[in-house]
Chains A and B, each alone.
Chain A
């Protein structure tokens, strides 16, 4: 391991952290080590001072109660996150934080939960939970394999691209075949699984962007991803 450090910020681990979101953080941490970098793990919870020199940001999903707790705090750090995103900081947001990185979430009773408008998306509470194994195809990452579990239906605006097109499953809203969103170096998705262990090329993309931004170039190591390959093959064949 060399002296090149990369700091990885876990956003709201206390309140927005379900369905194995920690697996995404662990995957980036380990792959950084395996690629020869020294990861520094940081956590940010409501009321904390937002740390300086953040290289990668990861945020997950939460229950309604968790979203209520973080909502005001997220709005308060929204401009910081926007500046980081515009400067090319790689970010991964899953499920609940994917929604709140958008313009708004409209609840079942019609009330609006404001997002930070970092992503040009909007989400409407849906009548049913969209649950099950999912496969999407991405021009950048190939087949993305995971598990979705959400009731919010997200619709993409003009300024974002979908992360992938649904091959099997529901995706953003069950209607337009899109799943997730891409903007700058942000990857947003509904996929748990956890997402990164079974889709290591997405993890390596986030790492590569962070390393290039900080150190100018990225020289990857070959990582033994055989278990990931085999887990993907099995997952792709499982029932919804």
Chain B
């Protein structure tokens, strides 16, 4: 079959899959089967190559930032926006962007990849740059152990040709530098006063004291005051207003800045860079704020213990009604043990108005042992959401939710006529 045909067929499958609703990786699977070289051939055309972003937490928001920062420097960027961070998802996203002759109108690709899938991806195409964010306990039923996940990230780093950007504050990620030639490595990091707010996986065992890192970081997040963050870049202090919420999103900005500095090099336009940074909004479900009945409603995605801890540390419960929705589908992780690795004492004073999701009772049980008051438990997400909203119509609300719970909640929220995305 000739190449343009494959592309056309793939595009047709993509349209049909869209009409059916969902299934963003299905057309990618189709193309992989009939034209296994499609992805490599298409990405190999890009003059500025491929950038891979991986790690447990923050991939989606960081990728969104990197894309917008590179665009501020005049680059045309291809990215896998659908959040389908598997190889097949990349192929599917490519199908939506290539013309019928298989040509991609972009200078550079910035791809968010799941650790395990990134390892397969880099065997097909060596990235020019990679950014490795962190290794946390996430869906361990899939990868087995956290040290195994760190090895997956090391493979991505070893396949990278021009620059690897590493999180200095994550011991397993920082250790990857030992495998690389020193010129390849750049770090992003935190000023000493901020490290306690970003527990890494070892800190979660709460007895091991962290030693401050002596490694030099290209970009350091030095302080956060309300919506203004200060970075130290190459020794200079630079402040930027941000539309991002949550300290972990702001630390991801340091990661994105370090990567973009590496990609662009000497010709970087810093004014445009920070203008773009100040306009980046959170990715879908990553601390976004909706308006329901004239009151803000925040959705905070929680996927693993560290992400949940960071979420709880980022948002003040006072003045808000809190709901927690926990599912246990494959994308959420089937094992509920992780709820016991999160401390919920910060919710004790104000209580939790609603607990929902397939594993609502596991969550309610967890809160019972933390002695946090739970007002209602309803496994059905739609019912729970309606009761949560009507029960506190005059108050701001916040929902912590796992991935598939968030998808359902967003669908339900979109049915309410007065929903608009404001951030």
Binding site for B on A (CB under 8 A): 13-15, 17-23, 26-27, 30, 43, 45, 63-65, 129, 131-133, 147, 149, 151, 192-194, 197-198, 224, 227-228, 230-231, 233-235, 238-239
Bound complex: CA A146 to CA B235 (Å): 51
Query: Total interface residues on B, using CB and 8 Å?
Result: 33
As a 0/1 sequence over residues 360 to 381 of chain B, the CB contacts with chain A under 8 angstroms (1 = contact) are: 0110111011110000010100
Q: B137, B358, B369, B371 — which one has the most chain A CB atoms within 10 A of its CB?
A: B369
Which residues of chain B are within 8 angstroms of A23 by Cβ–Cβ distance?
337, 339-341, 366, 369
A233 nearest in chain B by CB position: B361
A-B pairs with lowest CB-CB distance, top 4: A23-B340, A20-B340, A20-B337, A231-B361
CB neighbours (8 Å) of A19 from chain B are: 137, 140, 335, 337-338, 341
Contacts A233-B361, A239-B334 known; list 15 others, CB within 8 Å: A14-B205, A18-B137, A18-B140, A19-B140, A20-B340, A23-B339, A27-B369, A65-B147, A149-B140, A193-B337, A197-B366, A198-B362, A234-B379, A235-B359, A238-B358
CB distance from B152 to the nearest CB of A (A): 15
Task: Give Cα A160 to B145, complex, Å.
Answer: 29
Q: A227 touching B208 by the CB < 8 A rule?
A: no
- Find chain B residues with CB under 8 A from A133 CB: 334
The answer on a CB contact under 8 Å between B140 and A26 is: no
Closest-CB distance, B144 to chain A (whole angstroms): 6
Expressed in whole angstroms, the Cα–Cα distance for A45 and B141 within the complex equals 27
Bound complex: CA of A132 vs CA of B144, how far in Å?
12
Shortest distance between the CB of B168 and any CB in chain A (Å): 21
In the complex, chain B residues whose CB is within 8 Å of the CB of A198: 362, 365
- Closest residue of chain B to A238 (Cβ to Cβ) is B328
Give complex CA distance A197, B359 in Å.
14
Chain B 133-153 residues near chain A, CB threshold 8 A: 137, 140-141, 144-147
Establish whether residues A194 and B361, one from each chain, have CB atoms under 8 Å apart when the complex forms: no
Counting CB contacts under 8 A, is B241 at the interface? no
A95 to chain B, nearest CB (A): 11
Cα–Cα distance between A19 and B370 once the two chains are bound (Å) = 17
